[in-house]
Structure 1
């Protein structure tokens, strides 16, 4: 799938009646207009020459680019040609709860052979995406990009854009993957440290080695599902297929980066080409120069690059260094730059265990921590705000790495009231049993919704009591990260909480209804790391 356009074609497409425009290569570019039809069906997908089965939209993986305009009314009819229920969720869009597309929370789902028409006013602009919220369909290919052009002039100047959809794909069925994870959670970690290596404990004191052994985890347990079973894709194409985005030297090129993977946190860089971040999760930010971005599952970043008359390799490396997605940016077709080798695998540290890196510290649990039990394997003794630190694997690189504290909203925040209350939510789990939860409670335990009063402003602190990063997503809302920028706090719908770390945000609960709140690692969500947030005029 090729998703590219010049600035002129973008503006023209957004203003025309329903259309399906095409690039010179013949690939579908965008669906636009007031009425759009999407058809979900099983299909073949060839990845690096190997045929696999997938679920696509309108015969494509990823699904077609949807191009909407801020302030317009969208009508999107989804036809389900599967033999099972399906759904489409509009990730990051501020829609009425009944249009959010989460079976069992916002609507019943789309039955096999049925259809559902989504209708909503487009209240925002920016880079977003859409995906199934039914079973493991997202893993099989049911996702696609969504771009909303602003009602007025775009504050970001650019000459050409490319939409870059990053994802992971496996020939192994998602059900088989989940079964393996439940039986042996580290079965896809072929880089695991040996017991002898752990005993040698290079860089670890005796107490640290004992704590690692007691956790029954290896410092290499960074990702559950790895390049051992995944091929990493750019716009549906594997590294050998080499998706290519063209440009004219001297242009300002906008790259809309979307992490539509199921389980993979990517480290994105373009060797030899600096990036200026201008948008995060669809929200404009003051430009910040960087050389590498760690992009959590379900996050989006827009960057501007100024390429010279040469080819560049865009690299999206899995956080555990077990594989990478590769694409080319070039002034002419057929050009290709060398791809760098995979870097050394990172190792978890005592900070990732929430120990603060302090040797000999006491192991007594915090008073506010959830109780240890079958579903809570550990608690972070000294969790810390890590929003100013590069992500795992990027702490020792010799170039600039984007951190959350670099992000400053371009516009004033819409609500700057002081929060009226605070709420701590613990991210909990038992890796050995592959159980994931909030506050030690799984979704299958049928917990009561997390209540918010309509219009109230609440300070929420996410505390990661596990040794894995979790991208946490709240449906139907944006929140402001508390990172020291006052009334220009960055606004996001998804935030990556580092191992042993905390993230604090202020939330204005201004969209009534029931909303999904979950880890966006697909298998973590299905293992229990999901809750319902209820926004009502009055809270009992």
Structure 2
């Protein structure tokens, strides 16, 4: 398969807040959740907008593997492969059991590997990134050498889907961690509010590990915003969502939507002091940061 990297990220912006209804969201008694608290004047794929998108030349009947990186500071996207049905092969660089679809949510800091099979004839095939809860979009275009590439608007007809845990619930690791009991368990509460823009991780001061231990962390989101939680230095496996056990994906960044909980496990095999933080960088900068500290660093 040919490789084609794609990075979705944002330019300069300013503070703003959007609200979406909470219907069907477990555990939340509030009237609305917060989306897109930061707006930007451009949304880019490989440093270009849809006014002048990157055009990737592909072969007829070819196979393409996309590695899509959400490098945004504060924006979740849904990847729309359009006329080409995709097969998700990996998340955060770790193989999963294949999932076929044409839309794939990706939060900040997460990566997706998606395989696409091209038709036999000439054609141009947009791969779009739809901004969460808003009409802005970006993307690249896969095109055969003899095709005509039509111009695409930087806004769509409808707002992009809310990025939640639906895909996470379907993911299964191709190479799961060995099954064994946890040596240490921690519960963290993700808190914060738009008023005053303060975010934190309650219980984050307690994260301690020793080499060769199995560590289990449950993260509960008590705030009104989703938080993509990223652990440095390790890959973890998602073993429960809202208390329901599963053999989920091995990865390093997991989204915790409002009112939800995610339980992860990892093996303490990389001594150091490692950040565990929200990959919404404005949340991280204003307090949503903790550290996993090895007690036996010497």
Residue equivalent to 2:172: 408
Match of 1:520 among 271, 279, 298: 279
C-alpha contact 1:313 1:337 (8 A) present in aligned 2? no
The alignment status of 1:392 with 2:162, answered yes or no, reads yes
Does 2:221 align with 1:464? yes
Structure 1 counterpart of 2:69, from 258, 263, 267: 258
Q: Which residue pairs with 2:6 in the alignment?
A: 164
Out of 263, 285, 292, the residue aligned to residue 533 of structure 1 is: 292
> For 1:271, which of 70, 82, 85 is the aligned residue?
82
Q: Is the 8 A contact 2:135 2:157 kept in 1?
A: no
How far off is 1:421 after superposition?
3.4
After TM superposition, give the deviation of residue 232 of structure 1 in Å. 0.8
Native 8 Å contact 1:312 1:337 kept in 2: no
Aligned residue in 2 for 1:295: 106
Query: Of residues 46, 62, 65 in structure 2, which corresponds to 1:235?
Result: 46
More helix by share: 1
In 2, Cα distance between equivalents of 1:393 and 1:415 = 30
Structure 1 distance, partners of 2:114, 2:251, is: 16
User: What is the CA-CA distance between 1:338 and the residue it aligns to?
Assistant: 6.1
Change (3 A) 1:283 1:435: same
Secondary structure in 1 matching 2:199: strand
| TM-score where L is the length of structure 1 | 0.49
Q: Paired residues, what number?
A: 288
Q: Name the CA distance, whole Å, in 1 between partners of 2:169 and 2:33.
A: 27
Q: Which of these residues, 175, 193, 199, is aligned with residue 430 of structure 1?
A: 193
Runs of 4 or more, structure 1, over 4 Å off, are: 337-341, 483-486
Partner of 1:418: 181
**Offset at 1:326?**
2.5
Q: Which runs of 5+ in 2 are unaligned?
A: none
User: What does the per-residue CA deviation read over 1:51-76, in whole Å, with 9 as the maximum and x for residues that have no partner?
Assistant: xxxxxxxxxxxxxxxxxxxxxxxxxx
Matches within 5 A, 1:328-477: 328-332=141-145, 335-337=148-150, 339=152, 342-345=156-159, 392=162, 403-411=167-175, 413-439=176-202, 448=205, 450-477=207-234
Measure, in 2, the Cα distance between the counterparts of 1:337 and 1:426: 47
Q: Note the C-alpha offset of 1:161.
A: 1.6
CA distance in 2, matches of 1:449, 1:532: 9
CA shift digits 1:82-109 (9 cap, x unpaired): xxxxxxxxxxxxxxxxxxxxxxxxxxxx
- Is contact 2:125-2:143 (8 Å) kept? yes
Higher gyration radius (CA) = 1
1:533/1:394 CA distance change after superposition, 3 Å: closer
Q: Does the residue aligned with 2:274 lie in a helix, a strand or coil?
A: strand
> 1:432: Cα distance to partner?
0.9
CA–CA distance in 2 between the matches of 1:192 and 1:485?
31
How far, CA to CA, are the matches of 2:164 and 2:58 in structure 1?
29
1:482 is aligned to: 239
Q: Distance in 2 between matches of 1:294 and 1:525?
A: 21
TM, length-normalised to structure 2: 0.86
Residue 260 (structure 1) shift: 0.9
